[in-house]
Amino acid sequence: MINEKVNKAFNEQIQKEMYSAYLYLSMATQFYADGLEGISQWLRSQALEELTHAMKFFDHITERDGRVELEAIEKPPSEWDSPVSAFKDALKHEEYITGEINNLVDLTEKEKDYASKTLLQWFVDEQVEEEGSVSKVLQELEMVKESPHGLLMVDKELGGRTIAAEQEEEE
C-alpha cells in the first residue's frame, strides 16, 4: 500500500503535470493562430506527453491501493510576446517541476516508500530530457529571433515532432 503522505503529494503532482499540459496547450493555440504551425505542433505533443506523466502517478496510486483525489487546475497565461518568451517560460516551468520531483524523492526516502521512489527515478531522468529539449528549442529560437526566414525553418523542423499517443490517435 502506498504511504499516505506520498499519496497526497502524488495527487498534488498529478495537478502539476495537468497544469503543464494546460500551459503547453495554451502556448500551442497562440502559435497556431500566429501561423507557426510547427511550433504549435511541438507544443501540442508536449501537452500530450504531460498527460502521460500525470497518468503515471495516477496508475501508481491506484495500483498500490491509494486514492486519487483530483485538484483544481488553474488557468494558464494565454499570451506570449514571441516564441522566445514562451519557451523561456516553459524552461522556467520545467525547472520548477524538476524541483518538485526532487522534493518528492526526499519525501519517499523520509517515509521509506521505496516503490514510489523507484517510480520517481523515471521522472528524475525524464526531467533531464524535458529541460534539455526545451532549452535546445529556446537556443534555436534565440538564434533566429531577428530572422523571419530562420524562424520559418525552425518552425518546419519542430513540426516533425509527434509522440506515440498522437500516432495512435491518427491510426
By the rule CB under 6 A, 20 interacts with ligand OFO: yes
29-48 positions binding ligand OFO, by CB under 6 A: none
Q: Between 124 and 163, how does the x/- string for binding to ligand OFO read (CB under 6 A)?
A: ------x---------------------------------
- Let me know: does 154 contact 82? Beta carbons within 8 Å: no
**At what angle are helices 148-158 and 37-63 packed, to 10 degrees?**
40
Residue found under cell 499570451: 79
Q: Between 54 and 93, how does the x/- string for binding to ligand OFO read (CB under 6 A)?
A: ----------------------------------------
DSSP sequence for 10-30: HHHHHHHHHHHHHHHHHHHHH
Q: With respect to ligand OFO, which residue has the nearer C-beta, 7 or 45?
A: 45
